[in-house]
Amino acid sequence: MIPQRLSLLRKAMKAHGIDVYYIPTSDDHNSEYTASKFAVRKFFSGFTGSAGTLVVTMDHANLWTDGRYFVQAENQLKDTTVTLRKMGQEGVPTVMEYLQSILKDGMVLGFDGNVVSTTFFNGLKDELKDVKVKYETRYDLSKDIWMDRPQLPNEKYWVLHERYSGQSAKEKLNTIRNKMKENHCDVLLLSALEDVAYTTNLRGNDVECTPVFYGYMLIGLTSATLYCDLTKVDTNVSCYLQENGIIAVDETKLIDDITKLKKVTLWCDLTSTNVALSSRFDKTISIHDAFTPVTLMRSIKNDTEIKNLRKAHVIDGVAVSKFMYWLKTTIKKHTFTEYEAQEKLLELRKQGNGFLEPSFTTICAYGPNAAMMHYSAPEHGSAMVEPKDFLLVDSGGQYLFGTTDITRTFVMGKTDREHKKWFTVALKSYLDLMKANFLYGCTGLSLDILARNPVWQYDMDYQCGTGHGVGYVLGVHEGPQAFRWRVSAGRHEDTVFEQGMTITNEPGIYIPGVLGIRHENQMIVMKGKKNEYGQFMHLENLTMCPIDLDGVDVKLLSEEEINTLNQYHAHVYRSLSRYFKGKELTWLKRATRKIHK
């Protein structure tokens, strides 16, 4: 099927005079997670991971993806004629290096300008400045090939009221305009879907698991216009927007309004502004290219959001802890599939107050499947969970009270001693970062070593970031804050950790064909002591769920790590015990028991 699709793509490339065609994983807003209608890379490669780039020539097709997906991609690309390029591995060229090596004077590089960011395109032109390459950005070549392409959902937008958001849209606009004035900007363009949803306090269902909607905003010093699908705006939403000084117009009017802007300073983040849109900017416009004031605003949770997040994680923790109880008791009676297990977890989450939907596709991976960091269990043919080895479950929920993201690795029965060692090494990483106390001014680059060091001592690495920011009833992955050990283009690893930022802590061990282990909590940055040395900060745990003590080799833990784990489990028990009774409560008490050397 994939070879046939690639053959049709090459015919379309030839018809349009294109030598090389570039297909990112993206939509019109450079979103990480997109509506299914934008899954062009998946359509032409067969690879279903959330991150990857496909480059097609007349003779070859290459797909780049990161360490989270190496095993998955190897399996899915078999017999497709698509070659896997493992990003970050020695001897593997980057996408840019590959393009530099194959593009010659007079050749045409094509892509759909609607789904390629201006930042990437500018970097591409700079890297290829010594080659006389032509660019064809007008065509989405999948248009006449992908005949059953999905359409966007048609559900209405809804208002996230101030008892959840903590601020009205009017208040947010005031803050935004103050930032615009500080930066001498006349107009702000919001392209990132999370920026638009946050600013308007509207949510939607255009993207699965992420309650956003497709739209843009233009904000002036006295005006604010939302460009969206007006068929999804009901009377309640319309009244809310009007009360907050926002005019909603049809999305098709954006181009006209953009082209009318002249002799102004426009603030826009070119990483989320596509080439087709930025090409309409008048030459008299001065561009202030930086991540928008909204990006930082939404990354720092306000007091109402923090209060609600604590509530959301108790609700979620009850569901995941009861799931853990179900796993432990059910496996003693009979086996079940990965898919059946994840459906049970969804059933338990649905019982929680304010639950909307999962915050991403659940990863429920047994045994060797867990080595694929973003494995998705199929409904038919998923692995049978047996009373032995590990089951890794990475999941989360969207609640009216916030967004959750948690991973637990469960011991299903008899376990190899070597496997318990790796479980404990990953736990040491998790605990060492959990108890971090650091001076204000630190970034993810400063702190990542705390988690990675125990793994590096065994000459191993988990080949992905240690943690990411989390949105508030928005995307489960949010920047600019993150735990990473090296700088990556456009990721802003130099972002200082501010009080109120949420971030995950999720180190792991992955051995292809053998096992995968990950422990993940969501945390929030909080102020600690302030003295003559400066303002100290720490990470408060939001996630409330036991670590499976059946996988711990206590001999490998330091006394400080044991104390950290015991304190966490005591907090979990205090937070969750009133929601349990009978045998479940007895189990919870044991699951959060103190451990000793």
Q: What integer pLDDT is reported at residue 69 of this predicted model?
A: 83
CA distance 70 to 73: 5
Tell whether the torsion through CA atoms of 413, 416, 422 and 428 is positive or negative. Answer: positive
Rg from Cα positions in the chain:
24
* Residue 139 confidence class, pLDDT cut points 50, 70, 90: very high
Q: Reduce the secondary structure of 46-105 to three states and give it as a string.
A: CCCCCCCEEEEECCCEEEEECHHHHHHHHHHCCCCCEEEEECCCCCCCCHHHHHHHHCCC
Closest CA to 507 of 447, 442, 579: 447
- Does residue 196 contact residue 190 with C-beta atoms inside 8 Å? yes
CA distance 430 to 452: 9
- Residue 163 identity: R
* Residue 362 confidence class, pLDDT cut points 50, 70, 90: very high
* Residue 68 confidence class, pLDDT cut points 50, 70, 90: confident
The per-residue b/e assignment along 19-51, b for 16 or more CB within 10 angstroms, e otherwise, is: bbbbbbbbbbbbbbbbbeebbbbbbbbbbbbbb
CA distance 429 to 568: 15
Average of per-residue pLDDT values in the chain: 95
Q: What integer pLDDT is reported at residue 285 of this predicted model?
A: 97
Element (H, E) at 341: helix 338-350
Q: Which of helix, strand or coil describes residue 481?
A: strand
Q: Summarize the confidence of residues 400-420 as an average pLDDT.
A: 96
CATH code linked to domain 158-298 = 3.40.350.10
Task: Please indicate whether the domains covering 2-136 and 300-591 agree at the CATH topology level.
Answer: no
Q: Which two tokens stand for residue 105?
A: 């004077």
Q: What integer pLDDT is reported at residue 376 of this predicted model?
A: 85
Q: Residue ranges of the domains in the chain?
A: 2-136, 158-298, 300-591
pLDDT at 186 exceeding the cut of 80: yes
CA distance 404 to 357: 11
Q: Which of helix, strand or coil describes residue 529?
A: strand
Pairing of strands 390-395, 363-366: antiparallel
pLDDT digits (tens, 9 = 90+) for 218-240: 999 999 999 999 999 999 999 99
Pick the range with the lowest mean pLDDT from 167-171, 491-495, 559-563. Answer: 491-495
Pick the range with the lowest mean pLDDT from 16-25, 27-36, 576-585. Answer: 27-36
CB-CB neighbours of 433 under 10 Å: 26
CB-CB neighbours of 225 under 10 Å: 17
- Does residue 100 contact residue 131 with C-beta atoms inside 8 Å? yes
* Residue 459 confidence class, pLDDT cut points 50, 70, 90: very high
Q: What integer pLDDT is reported at residue 71 of this predicted model?
A: 81
pLDDT digits (tens, 9 = 90+) for 519-532: 999 999 999 999 99
pLDDT at 67 exceeding the cut of 90: no
pLDDT digits (tens, 9 = 90+) for 110-128: 999 999 999 999 999 999 9
CA distance 104 to 126: 15
CATH superfamily of 300-591: Creatinase/methionine aminopeptidase superfamily (3.90.230.10)
More confident residue, 491 or 318: 318
pLDDT digits (tens, 9 = 90+) for 291-342: 999 999 999 999 999 999 999 999 999 999 999 999 999 999 999 999 999 9
Tell whether the torsion through CA atoms of 118, 119, 120 and 126 is positive or negative. Answer: positive
Element (H, E) at 452: helix 444-456
pLDDT at 594 exceeding the cut of 90: yes
CATH superfamily of 2-136: Creatinase/prolidase N-terminal domain (3.40.350.10)
* Residue 251 confidence class, pLDDT cut points 50, 70, 90: very high
